[in-house]
C-alpha cells in the first residue's frame, strides 16, 4: 500500500489552476521529489498533502486513510520548512521536546527521544543552545530532528536546503539522504533545484503549470524525458525538429529530416513516416573530433549546411557509419573545472557539447569540428 496517494486532485486560486488533476502514489520509505519551476504547482501539492490547503476536488490518502477532512495536526506528518521555523525563544531541547510534550509523552521518554534525535542529526551536546547560536546547517538539522521526533508516517520538506550555501547544501544532501535511509521514513520534498532532486530522490515528479509532466527515477526522467519541457528543464538539451522519413525497426534506426537538411537517426520509436517529430540529445552524449580546416580558417566554413539529406558518419571516420554527425565550428568554450562546455554552430543554429576536462589543450573558438553521437542517445519527445 502506498504511503501517500493523490487521486485527480485539483486546486484553483481564482483563475489560476495550481493543481490540475494531479494523481500520484508515493511508496513506503520512498524519498520522493516534487520538482518544477516557480509557479508549477509543486508547493501547492505539498501544502495539500500537509492539510494547509483543501483540494477543490479529488482525494488524498495517508497510510491508506482519506485525510481530506482531517486537520494538519491530526495527519501524522512532520514538516521541515525552508526558513527552519524554529522557536527562537526556546533551546534546541525545547524545540525538539515541544511536539512530544503537547502529546502528553512522559518527561523521561521525552529526554530519551531528544537525545536519540540529537545523536541521529550529529548534534549531541547542543541541547542548551538557542537557534541564533547555531549555524544554518545546524538549524536545518534541528528542524529535521523536530519533524522526525514524533515518529510521523510521512515527513514533508519544503525547499529544505535552499537557504544554505552551495558547499553546505551539497554536504547536507548527503546527510539528509543518510538520515532518511536510517530512519526508513517516507519523505516528500519540494525543490526547484534539478541537481538536488537527481541527487536525493528515489523518484521525481516533474510539474509544469499545475500538471505532472512525468514521474520516474532520476535516470528515467533525465535519460528518457517524455516531453520537450522535461528535457529542457532537467538539464541542457539539443533539439532537432523535423519530419519522419524512415520509421526504423528490425535493428535499423529511424530517421527524421530537419528543415535545414540534416537527417538525424534514433533507435527509439517514432511516429509514422511523414509525421512531425522532435528529438533531443544531451550535450554529454555528443563528442567532438577536431577537423583540419580546408579553408585556411575562413570564418563560418563549417557552419554551412552539408546539403539536404546528409546523414551521419564522416569520411575521416570521426563518426560511426550508422551514427549521427555533422560538421560545425566552435563558437564558445566554457571552462568549469571538471568539464568543458562547447557551443558549436552549424546550419545557422547553436548546439552544446559537454566533455570531461581530459586534454592538455582544449579546442578553441573558431576550430572546425565534427560532432558525433549514437542513435541510442537520440530521444523522441512530445513537442
Q: What is the mean pLDDT of the chain?
A: 89
Give residue 358's pLDDT. Answer: 79
Q: Where are the beta strands (DSSP E) in the chain?
A: 4-13, 16-26, 31-35, 57-62, 65-66, 77-80, 154-158, 186-191, 203-208, 211-216, 238-246, 254-258, 263-266, 276-281, 287-290, 324-335, 339-346, 349-356, 368-373, 379-381
pLDDT tens digits along 265-274: 999 999 999 9
Q: How would CATH label the architecture of 4-225? A: 3-Layer(aba) Sandwich (3.40)
Q: What is the pLDDT of residue 257?
A: 97
User: Bigger pLDDT: 14 or 160?
Assistant: 14
Same fold, 4-225 and 238-381: no
Categorize the per-residue pLDDT at 349 as very low, low, confident or very high, splitting at 50, 70 and 90. very high
pLDDT digits over 9-30, tens only? 999 999 999 999 999 999 999 9
Asked whether the beta carbons of 102 and 146 are under 8 A apart, the reply is no
Name the fold adopted by 238-381: OB fold (Dihydrolipoamide Acetyltransferase, E2P) (2.40.50)
Mean pLDDT over 234-255 rounds to: 92
pTM: 0.86
What whole-number distance in Å separates Cα of residue 205 and Cα of residue 75? 22
Closest to 95 (Cα-Cα) out of 147, 157, 45, 54:
147
> Quick one: pLDDT band at residue 322, thresholds 50, 70, 90?
low
**Range picked from 286-295, 353-362, 365-374 for highest mean pLDDT:** 365-374
Provide the pLDDT confidence category of residue 293 given band limits of 50, 70 and 90.
Answer: low
What region does 2 belong to: left with phi over 0, alpha with psi -120 to 50, or beta? beta
CA dist 173 and 185 (Å) reads 16
Of the candidate ranges 35-39, 80-84, 116-120, 228-232, the one whose mean pLDDT is the lowest:
80-84
Q: Where are the domains of the chain?
A: 4-225, 238-381
**C-alpha grid cell for residue 138?**
545546524
Average pLDDT over residues 221-225: 96
Answer yes or no: is pLDDT of 296 > 90. no
**Residue 149 pLDDT grade (very low, low, confident, very high; cuts 50, 70, 90):** very high
Say if CB 136 and CB 86 are below 8 A apart: no
pLDDT (mean) for 239-245: 96
**Band (295; pLDDT cuts 50, 70, 90):** low
Q: How confident is the model at residue 189 (pLDDT cuts 50, 70, 90)?
A: very high
10 Å Cβ neighbour count for 285?
19
What's the rounded mean pLDDT across residues 41-51? 96
Distance between CA atoms of residues 61 and 118, nearest Å: 31
User: What pLDDT was estimated at residue 85?
Assistant: 83
Lowest mean pLDDT among 132-141, 241-250, 295-304: 295-304
3-35 burial, b at 16+ Cβ within 10 Å, e below that, comes to bbbbbebbbeeeeebbbbebebbbeeebbbbbb
Amino acid at each position: 500500500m502506498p504511503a501517500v496517494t493523490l487521486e485527480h486532485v485539483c486546486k484553483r486560486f481564482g483563475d489560476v489552476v495550481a493543481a490540475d488533476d494531479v494523481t500520484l502514489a508515493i511508496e513506503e520509505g520512498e524519498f520522493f521529489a516534487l520538482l518544477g519551476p516557480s509557479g508549477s504547482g509543486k508547493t501547492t501539492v505539498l501544502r495539500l498533502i500537509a492539510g494547509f490547503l483543501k483540494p477543490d476536488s479529488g482525494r488524498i490518502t495517508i497510510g491508506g486513510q482519506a485525510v481530506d477532512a482531517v486537520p494538519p495536526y491530526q495527519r501524522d506528518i512532520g514538516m521541515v520548512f525552508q526558513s527552519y521555523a524554529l522557536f527562537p525563544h526556546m533551546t534546541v531541547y525545547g524545540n525538539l521536546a515541544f511536539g512530544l510534550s503537547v502529546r502528553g509523552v512522559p518527561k523521561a521518554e521525552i529526554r530519551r527521544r531528544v537525545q536519540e534525535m540529537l545523536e541521529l542529526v550529529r548534534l549531541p551536546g547542543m541541547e542548551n543552545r538557542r537557534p541564533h547560536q547555531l549555524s544554518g546547517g545546524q538549524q536545518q538539522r534541528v528542524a529535521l530532528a523536530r519533524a522526525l521526533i514524533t515518529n510521523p508516517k510521512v515527513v514533508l520538506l519544503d525547499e529544505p536546503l535552499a537557504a544554505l550555501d552551495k558547499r553546505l547544501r551539497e554536504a547536507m544532501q548527503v546527510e539528509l539522504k543518510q538520515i532518511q535511509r536510517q530512519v526508513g521514513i517516507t519523505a516528500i520534498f519540494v525543490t526547484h533545484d534539478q541537481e538536488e532532486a537527481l541527487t536525493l530522490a528515489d523518484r521525481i515528479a516533474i510539474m509544469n503549470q499545475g500538471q505532472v509532466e512525468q514521474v520516474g527515477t532520476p535516470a528515467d526522467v533525465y535519460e528518457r524525458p517524455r516531453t520537450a519541457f522535461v528535457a529542457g528543464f532537467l538539464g541542457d538539451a539539443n533539439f532537432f525538429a523535423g519530419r519522419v522519413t524512415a520509421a526504423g525497426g528490425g535493428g535499423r534506426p529511424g530517421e527524421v529530416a530537419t528543415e535545414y537538411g540534416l537527417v538525424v537517426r534514433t533507435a527509439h520509436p517514432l511516429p509514422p513516416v511523414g509525421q512531425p517529430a522532435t528529438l533531443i540529445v544531451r550535450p554529454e552524449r555528443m563528442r567532438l573530433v577536431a577537423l583540419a580546416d580546408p579553408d585556411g580558417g575562413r570564418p563560418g566554413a563549417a557552419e554551412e549546411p552539408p546539403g539536404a539529406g546528409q546523414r551521419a558518419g564522416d569520411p575521416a571516420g570521426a563518426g560511426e557509419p550508422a551514427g549521427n554527425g555533422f560538421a560545425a565550428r566552435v563558437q564558445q568554450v566554457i571552462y568549469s573545472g571538471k568539464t568543458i562546455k562547447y557551443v558549436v554552430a552549424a546550419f545557422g543554429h547553436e548546439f552544446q557539447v559537454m566533455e570531461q576536462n581530459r586534454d592538455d589543450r582544449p579546442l578553441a573558438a573558431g576550430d572546425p569540428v565534427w560532432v558525433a553521437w549514437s542513435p541510442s542517445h537520440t530521444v523522441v519527445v512530445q513537442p
